[in-house]
């Protein structure tokens, strides 16, 4: 839940925090969806491959690339082509350091850790996603990109949560649990539907359900 306005919070910084908080919420949701589909167990991957292998392979790439872009956007410079960016550094830049010296120091330390954790993602964005590095494409052995692991993503997200909550707890005495996004129509709902579809297909093969039974569905023409 996003924090509301408060007289204790610098008004010029609050809007930036709220917008950043929204970005961090949705970034975590996309990571949760990715993990629900691709980081649970081998049986789940097998079910995805047996259902629509090409689609889910492409979806995996799209979700992961979007995650990389999201992490890099939050850690971009303050400006791009003379336009201000909505980035974590804006909170550090706009917070009155003389009025909030401890918070400013803590935020800057957190930001440095975040940038360190996101260094590998930035290389992927620059050389593989936003641009196609010729050397990396034609000769990946001589021009390797850093390996990205699940642990690296989770470490980066944790540092971002710490940064956001460092700010929020200072003004609201509460934190946001970004990593626990609750939804009833997430990846688990999709997997349950795929399991049901797999069993339906098995029953059709066994002759327990007529092969043309699906034609009676209201969604047959969908």
Cβ contacts of 145 within 8 Å, gap of 6 or more = 123, 124, 127, 128, 136
Task: Say whether 88 sits in a helix, a strand or coil.
Answer: coil
Instruction: Answer whether 0.85 is exceeded by the pTM.
Output: yes
| pLDDT at residue 63 is higher than 60 | yes
Task: Say whether 162 sits in a helix, a strand or coil.
Answer: helix
* Alpha-carbon gap, residue 88 to 90, rounded angstroms: 5
Domain ranges of the chain: 11-182
Per-residue pLDDT at 172: 82
| 128: DSSP letter | I
1 contacts 155 by C-beta, under 8 angstroms: no
Structure tokens at 213: 């039974």
Per-residue pLDDT at 106: 97
Per-residue pLDDT at 8: 67
- Which tens digits make up the pLDDT trace of 129-184? 999 999 999 999 999 999 999 999 999 999 999 999 999 999 888 999 999 988 99
Cβ contacts of 199 within 8 Å, gap of 6 or more = none
**Vertex 39, ends 37 and 40: CA angle to 5°?**
80
Region 16-36 average pLDDT: 97
Q: 25: burial class by Cβ within 10 Å (0-12, 13-18, 19+)? A: middle
Region 183-209 average pLDDT: 95
| pLDDT at residue 25 is higher than 70 | yes
Please report where in the chains the tokens 């200072």 appear, as a residue.
Answer: 170
Region 95-110 average pLDDT: 94
Per-residue pLDDT at 174: 92
207 φ/ψ sector (left φ>0, alpha ψ -120 to 50, else beta): left
| pLDDT at residue 7 is higher than 80 | no
User: What are the phi and psi torsion angles at 16 (to 5°)?
Assistant: -65, -45
109 contacts 92 by C-beta, under 8 angstroms: no
Per-residue pLDDT at 171: 87
Average pLDDT, rounded, for the chain: 93
CA 167 from centre of chain: 21
- Kindly state the percentage of the chain with pLDDT values over 90: 91
Per-residue pLDDT at 83: 95
159 contacts 114 by C-beta, under 8 angstroms: yes
């Amino acid at each position: 839940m996003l924090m509301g306005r408060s007289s204790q919070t610098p008004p010029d910084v609050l809007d930036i925090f709220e917008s950043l908080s929204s970005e961090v919420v949705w970034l975590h949701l996309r990571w949760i969806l990715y993990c629900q589909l691709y980081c649970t167990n081998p049986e789940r991957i097998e079910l995805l491959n047996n259902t629509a292998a090409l689609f889910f392979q492409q979806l995996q790439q799209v979700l992961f690339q979007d995650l990389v872009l999201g992490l890099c956007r939050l850690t971009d410079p303050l400006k791009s082509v003379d336009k201000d960016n909505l980035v974590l550094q804006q909170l550090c830049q706009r917070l009155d350091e003389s009025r909030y010296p401890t918070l400013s120091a803590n935020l800057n330390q957190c930001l440095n850790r975040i940038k360190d954790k996101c260094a590998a993602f930035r290389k992927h964005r620059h050389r593989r996603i936003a641009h196609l590095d010729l050397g990396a494409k034609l000769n990946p052995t001589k021009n390797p990109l850093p390996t990205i692991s699940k642990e690296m993503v989770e470490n980066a997200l944790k540092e971002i949560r710490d940064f956001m909550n460092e700010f929020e707890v200072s003004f609201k005495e509460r934190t946001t649990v970004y990593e626990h996004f609750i939804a009833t129509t997430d990846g688990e709902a999709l997997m349950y539907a795929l399991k049901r579809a797999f069993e339906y297909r098995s029953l059709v093969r066994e002759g327990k359900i007529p092969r043309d039974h699906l034609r009676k569905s209201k969604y047959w023409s969908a």
